[in-house]
Structure 1
Amino acid sequence: MRESTPSDAAIQYIIHPSALGALVLATTSRGLCGIYFEQHKYFGGHNAWQHNPAHPTLTAAARQLDAYFAGTLTRFDVPLDLLGTPFQRSVWQQLMAIEFGETVSYGTHAARVGKPQAVRAVGTAIGRNPVSIIVPCHRVVGKDGGLNGYAGGLDRKRFLLALEVGR
């Protein structure tokens, strides 16, 4: 994982159909750097990226996402290149420790990151997660167990949690 952002020309992508609509999967030479829904809150578009339906990281991610939606995969193993600040990357890294079928509150996640007083900042970093689903930000819920925020929309978060934990 690194802080710098590659030039748009270095990013390759595909658009992959899923149970939640079309997903834009993006990769650098180091690994998957994005999974975005249509109307994703923080997605700026892929116009300058290179379309590459044969890229091995993209095809592996698509295959694993299909298996996840079919209920036959609970842990992903595609290489990742999470582009963000050191703080964001620490929050996203800790998201990957949340097991399939488990949910945690934003406060619990902030404590796990070592920033128990920074719940809002941790929540903001969670909302900026560039690799939805594989980096499972949907597993973070309000302290009362309610659904709070999701860059792909609450209906998608509800779907993902129902797929994993029957909520």
Structure 2
Amino acid sequence: MGFDPIAIVGRGCVFPDALDPDAFWDNVAARRCSLSPVPDGRWRLPHRWAMGTVDDHLDRTWNDVGGYVRDFGTVFDPTGFRVAPEEILGLDQLFHWVLYGARQALREAGHEEGSPRTGLVLGNLSYPTSAGTAFAEHVWLSGGAPGLLRGAARDRPDARNRFSSGLPAHFAAR
């Protein structure tokens, strides 16, 4: 069985406390823990309502520590892709992270754009995303309780946000 050899010539990433591969490696080498309590405003309900205990956790959580990406907005530029910035900005941050990582990898390889021989290997845990949740909430509420949709929530979020597994990679490849 034969195969064509490949070469990894560019890397990109977005992790908590590491918005590029060198920062990620520095964190690994320093054995730095990038877990932190949930950022203010991340949950749409008061912290005290969300928190339970190990024994009393029905419809609540008993842990608020996780890996949260911070300060990404300071480094992401939605221009220069083959997709309009307005279209990109309407998508979940997960799409932004993938585009940003792909751009990093291409630049590390000495390119501004991909070529027909460019491939993408993407690691994504496919957790629910904020925009995916907003889309589902909009669908559920607009059908049964549209009066609960207030302000910006009346506008339907981009339906592509519900595809957090494969679509970000497809979108970046496009």
* Fold match by TM threshold 0.5: no
The structure in which a higher percent of residues are strand is 1
Q: TM-score, normalised by structure 2?
A: 0.23
Q: TM-score, normalised by structure 1?
A: 0.23
